[in-house]
Amino acid sequence: MHLHILGICGTFMGSLALLARELGHTVSGSDAGAYPPMSTQLEEAGIALCEGYSPANLEPRPDLVVIGNALSRGNPEVEAVLDADLPYVSGPQWLAEHVLPGRRVIAVAGTHGKTTTASLVAWLLESAGLAPGFLIGGVPRNFGVSARLGAADAPFVVEADEYDTAFFDKRSKFVHYRPNIAVLGNLEFDHADIFDDIAAIERQFHHLVRTVPGNGMLLVGDGEPALERVLAMGVWSPVVRIGEAPTSAWRLELERDDASRFRVIHQDADANEDAVVDWSLTGLYNARNALAALAAAHACGVSLDRAAAALARFESPRRRQEVRGEVANIQVIDDFAHHPTAIAGTLQGLRAATVRGRLLAVIEPRSNTMRLGTLRDRLASSVSAADIVFWYRPEGLDWPLEPIIAESPIPARLEQDLATLVSALVAEARPYDRIVVMSNGGFGGIHEKLLTALEAAHG
């Protein structure tokens, strides 16, 4: 079968393309823009990419068109699909119908940490010899690809996004997955372009809860009021709480302030066990992600001791605290944080792990929620753990960043030209500084440009 995927360079759709290719289908796709790591993955898999959207991309006529949620009516290729009466489907529906049946599905949901937690679950299952399948909205470096089928009888791990499914299906993606185990790590307001308020997101999360069977499991982060409201709407599956509360069945205790070492305690009617995790990631939020993954792997038969040891070999997914390079003892780090909570958590974790030099934050507020300015009142305080912050104004941001600069608790600069930003960073950086670049987009290739400029200045 020939599948043609619209929006193929998105993290979800690109991963879907890899699964379809692995199933033996002919796969092609269109997108308006491609950047690593997804573009690299697709090229290495030999999947044909069409730059831009055009009716001509539908020749030869595909057997099925899979339409990503970034596409809407008025797009020339979408209109051509409809006019030609081509069969079409959403990505989540295709996954649910062609990959997930017969598999034990682990769905990882939450406002923050989905990619890292899903990568952790997949790695723990892999380390135990279970050969899981997975679809993750990023590239887990322990695997080198964002998706694979895995063994036919193995669990399948899916990053379960609450964003809408397609222009013709406005339900959240995750309602399609029918998981046996659902991880609900956290929940707060985001995606202001499609949700009016937190209550609307909570309703979608409850739709997910409704699909988990009675013999399944809900792993729920403690200390999350929005998740407690979701559960109050009704629950039909065992609820296992994870976090730091003394009453949680799975809890963690930090042994280092940067969360690079912590103790895990698991207590329930059948178990009373603990283990120490010593790993390369930092930040309490990452320790909580790991705790959720340990609980999910345990539910699949992986012992706590074995899973905790495997975490020492875990490599963070690309664009999650990923060190892109180092010049003259100046480190450049890439991170996907694009929400005030995620920005603050990333910086706090890196601050605790930075024993020498300064922490320089570089932020591009380009997500749909950021462009709308919905959470801008929280941005100034989100960077307090850094020493200096450089804000970059992306195209299409229609609210002023100047008040964020004025309210900043640390020295702050505003740039709207990439070359000027790179020059300013090179002039500011000193040996042993760490420059963390935060954006949910390609940011104009700033990481390589910055490393090249640092090499020219200090090499």
Beta-strand ranges (E) seen in 206-313 are 217-221, 239-243, 250-254, 261-267, 272-278
111 marked ligand binding residue: yes
Cα–Cα distances (Å) from 185 to 123, 166, 262, 411, in that order, read 18, 24, 18, 33
Report the 10 Å Cβ neighbour count for 325: 16
d(CA 417, CA 393): 8
Q: Would you give the distance in Å from CA 293 to the centre of its chain?
A: 14
374 marked ligand binding residue: no
Residues 377, 385, 223, 137, CA torsion sign: positive
115 marked ligand binding residue: yes
Cα–Cα distances (Å) from 203 to 153, 181, 210, 237, in that order, read 32, 19, 11, 17
**% helix, strand, coil for the chain, step of 5:** 35, 25, 40
Note whether 208 and 227 are within 8 A (CB). Answer: no
Bridge partners, 31 (sequence order): 51
d(CA 107, CA 158): 5
Cα–Cα distances (Å) from 316 to 118, 270, 281, 323, 333, in that order, read 11, 32, 7, 10, 12
266 marked ligand binding residue: no
Residues 292, 297, 299, 303, CA torsion sign: negative
Residue type, 305: D
DSSP class per residue in 425-445: HHHH--TT-EEEEE-SS-GGG
Residue type, 91: G
d(CA 387, CA 370): 23
116 marked ligand binding residue: yes
Bridge partners, 243 (sequence order): 251
What radius of gyration do the chain's Cα atoms show? Answer: 22
102 marked ligand binding residue: no
Q: Which of 128, 94, 92 is closest to 107 using CA atoms? A: 92
d(CA 146, CA 153): 20
Residues flagged as binding site = 110-116
Residues flagged as binding site for ATP = 110-116
